[in-house]
Structure formats: structure tokens, C-alpha cells
Amino acid sequence: MSTSNTPLVGVIMGSKSDWETMSHGVAILEQFGIPHEVEVVSAHRTPDKLFSYAEQAESRGIEVIIAGAGGAAHLPGMVAAKTSLPVLGIPVQSKALNGMDSLLSIVQMPGGIPVATLAIGKAGSTNAGLLAASILGNKYPEFKTALNEFRAHQTDTVMSNPDPREA
Ligand code: RP5
């Protein structure tokens, strides 16, 4: 059981402009009561901060890192290069290339340094929150319970109103 408010999930992003996307995963963490922290850490604009964040995360009690970035999205991969914590990468939907640049930058890691890459945008962010709950649920039963309740409610919502013409 998680007994303190020490963050277990570190949610980082390359820019404040990524927050709208990243907020969806954070909403899941809040809904499930998973202690977390949120911070801008840029691979390009604050590279030294990226290194210190990744190097110190585990000793501060972080167990999962969710990292989102857009465009030349080097943040998740560089964080993964500096920590063996699980890193969940969110490709933010860029304006110029609609997020394909972000996706390919994050997903095409060389063998040996994995980033668990989610879908572009809101769906990926939401699923990163759920995946963090799944990972932490192996150690903290209350998060597994919250995740299973979420999934059961989602199934009930579909099953109880399967007519697509009804709201
Ligand atoms: C990336 O550049 C960020 O992750 C963001 O998605 C993108 C644009 O950043 P801003 O110019 O909006 O700060 O580093």
C-alpha cells in the first residue's frame, strides 16, 4: 500500500504548450489517487535539468516516468537513457506534421534503451495514466483495484447503451 504522498509518477513535458495533452493522463492519476508530480523539463532548452531529473528520480521515490514532447521529441528517449525506471512516452500532436514527427522520434529507440510509446495526443496521454496504474498495481493493490473499477465501468457504459443513435 502507498502510505505517503511522495510522488510515485513523474510527469514531465518539453513545454507548457504540451500541458493540454498531458493533462489527460494526469487526470487519470488524480482519479486513481496516485501521488504524482508535474514539471516542464526540456531536452533542448534545459538539457542539464533533464539529466539531473532522470538521475535523481529513482532515489526520490519515483517509480514510473511519463514523458511527453512534440516535434523533435527527444525528451522520453534521453530520460530513458539516464534511468532504468519505466518511461512512458507521449507523442504530442505537433502543428507542422500532426504528431507523426513526435511519434517517430519517440518510438524508434535503438535496441537496448526502451521507451513504452503510446498513441499521439489525448488517447496516448490517457493510456499512459492507465499504464502507470497497471505497473504500480503490481505493487500497490489499491491502484489495481481503481484500474479494474475504471475498466468495469467503461465496459458497463458501452454494454448498457449499445444503440449508436442514442446519446
Ligand atoms: C517540444 O517542442 C515541446 O515538447 C513542444 O511540444 C514543442 C513546441 O514547444 P513550444 O515552442 O510550444 O514551447 O520541445
Three-class DSSP category at 143 = helix
CA-nearest residue, atom 3 of ligand 1: 14
d(CA 95, CA 127): 22
Query: At residue 3, does pLDDT exceed 80?
Result: no
- For residue 160, the 8-state DSSP code is H
* β-bridge pairing 64-70 and 36-40: unpaired
Q: Looking up cell 527527444, which residue turns up?
A: 74
91-137 pLDDT tens trace:
999 999 999 999 999 999 999 999 999 999 999 999 999 999 999 99
- Domains in the chain and their CATH numbers? 9-160 (3.40.50.1970)
What is the pTM assigned to this prediction?
A: 0.97
C-alpha cell at 159: 454494454
For residue 112, give every residue at least 6 positions away whose Cβ sits within 8 Å of its Cβ, in sequence order, or none. none
Mutate to test the pocket of ligand 1, among 12, 15, 44, 75 (most ligand atoms within 8 A of CB): 15
40-99 pLDDT tens trace:
999 999 999 999 999 999 999 999 999 999 999 999 999 999 999 999 999 999 999 999
Specify the pLDDT at position 4. 75
156 CA → ligand 1 middle, Å? 38
